[in-house]
Structure formats: C-alpha cells, structure tokens
Structure 1
C-alpha cells in the first residue's frame, strides 16, 4: 500500500485528490492537511509520497520541502502547482523535489503518477516551459541536448528513455532483461556523460534531445 499525504491550502483540492487516490486499491491517503501542519503530519503519519502545494498562504511550499528533505528518511515529494510556468518549479526541483504535477492533472493519470513516484521515478508535466527547463539545468549542462545524448551508447540511451518514462531501476531491469546492478551502472554512466546529478535533469535532457516518443499532458518521467 502506497501511503500518500496531500498538502494544500484549499480544502477542495485536498478533498479532490483524496477522493481520486483512495479509489485505487494500492494507494491510501493517510492525511490531507494545510501547509502549516505538513511537517508534523509527515513525522506522525510516515507517508511514502507527499504531494505538496508549491504556493500556500500560511507557509511557503519550498520551506516545507527543505524541512522534509532534512529528515533522516524523507518521503518522496512532488510539488503541486496551478501554473505550468511557475517560477518556483526550477527551485523546487533543484531542492530535491521528485517533480511536479499540475492541479488539473487528468484524474485517471494521478494514481499512475503516484505509483511512479513511490517506485523512485520522477513526475514532470510535458507542459514544462523552456524557461523552467533552462532555469533548472545548470550552466555547465546547457549544451545542446542532442550533443549531450550523442555521448551515450545505444544501451545507455535505452536506459535513459525508460528513466524519463518514470521507471525505477528494477523496472528498467525487467524491461531490458538486465540485473538491477547493471542498470545502476548504466545510470551512473548516464549521469557522468550528461554531467547531471539527478534523474530529473537526465529526463529533461532526454526530452530536449527528442528521445521521448510523444508529449502528453502529464508524463511520468
């Protein structure tokens, strides 16, 4: 069972996400609270995944994210936002968020995205603007994405695509008939060749290089 905490200042949003996610047999929303109660609730409820509003009147979502990331065993955190061009998105990703969801995410996709997060994947909206992408990527990896991707072997490119689709290492291994250790080796090589430090950065480069099949309103990457 995937334990989820929803943090949002609007009761309607909290109720909507709770209702949608609780319809999935393998997902349980253990609490839905405003921002001021987020850190305490994480300590008490021990969720696997936190869906955290990036803008709240009582406490800044980035402040909550920073506190959660300092925990000894922090949950996976994805930011919630209304705006695909939210200027805080790049900062959130750089601060350790596993991605972000638009609040108008297709209800049918939401459980799939939460599962991807729980398994170690990342979730990014395909509506991420060029401004957000460029702002997130460090200056030393702003080379043309195609040039960066050309550094990879064919096998590494295949692994990168599956990473960008939201698959964790174990799932990639099953899909490609490789051991988890071998997949970890490929991921390490991908990070080194692309000069990135996270799956999010690698996924953004894959998107910019045109390695992903087709854009969707919400993609588990």
Structure 2
C-alpha cells in the first residue's frame, strides 16, 4: 500500500545539489514540500522548477521549505539548472535530490520496489509515476499528496492555497470550504459542539445545523 495522509513521511539520507541531507533533520520545525520529477531535462518539469524558484519567497513566508527530486544524479541537476535559468528566468536555489539509485522514489511508492539498473538508460516514460507533490508538516506527517501525469504541469499556486488551509486548520477548530482562499469565511469543525463553538466564535450562520459558517479566524 502506498503512503497515506497522516502517515509519517519516511526519513532518508540523500545527496542533493546543496550537499547530503537527512530528510527529517533538514525539515526541522518547518513545513516542507517535496516534489518529484521522472528525469532531468524534461520540458514540463523545466517550467515547474523555474516557477517554484520564482515563488519560493511565498513558501518561505509561510515557514515552508522546498525540496525537489529527480531520477538522475546531482551533477545532471546542476547542468539542468542552467537551462532552467536560461528558459524560465529563475534558477532553483532550493535543494534537488539526486535519486539515480531510485532509493527515495521507491521509499515513497513512486516506483516499484523491483526497479533497478542504470538511471541513464531509463526514459522519462519509464519513470512517469515520479510526478508527486508531498506536503509534510513539522510533525513529519504527510498532509497532502498530489500525483500528476507527465503531460500536465502542476499548479503550485494551488499548493500554496492548500498550505494556507492546512496551517489555518491546524491552529483553529475550523475547516475550509470549496475553493476557499485566504480571508474567505470558514466552517466550524464538526467535532466542535455548539456550546464550544459559542465560546470560540460567538455567533455563526447555519443554513443547516451541520453547516456552521464563520469569518476566518485571524
């Protein structure tokens, strides 16, 4: 069975473009986003890595660290970064994991455990399942898993939106409704009784008894 939400993110040691790391130690007390790629020098991934470089300050403002992964060696990542900077106008300054031995991809269920051989002999299509986004909390538990096909570029603005929701709901007894964005009304969590809700929120709007709507807590 693959990884699931609220499961602890597997720890690992790996080489990155910024040196060797132990993943949990690298996360520290921060939130983290791990996003993976099937191979270096692939077109869609080139645009994604460049966009993440551009919006990295938005993640940092939320206390979130970014780390990439690609099924190639770190030396290839450095050469790829030149292309990313040239074509996308931004160079990744976050670490990118070298996973030429498939260790992390297999640990996170993105490649079968039986995967072996020389990464350079594999095509992007061979690794097409290595297209995941994992959002991990300071408790080292997985909060979100997204999996994209190779032909569809990822929406990292949506990842930021989800992180806003995750951080809000981790600190307040609320949930966020469909298409919620920062500043919109929220829903009082179902685990909160009316008595507790009155103490926490005062009054609320309730089109149904189970649908209690309040302004976003600050």
Q: Same fold per TM (> 0.5)? A: no
The structure whose residues are more often strand, as a share, is 2
Higher relative contact order (CA 8 A, sep 6+): 2
The structure whose residues are more often helix, as a share, is 1
Larger Rg: 2
TM-score calculated relative to the size of structure 1: 0.30
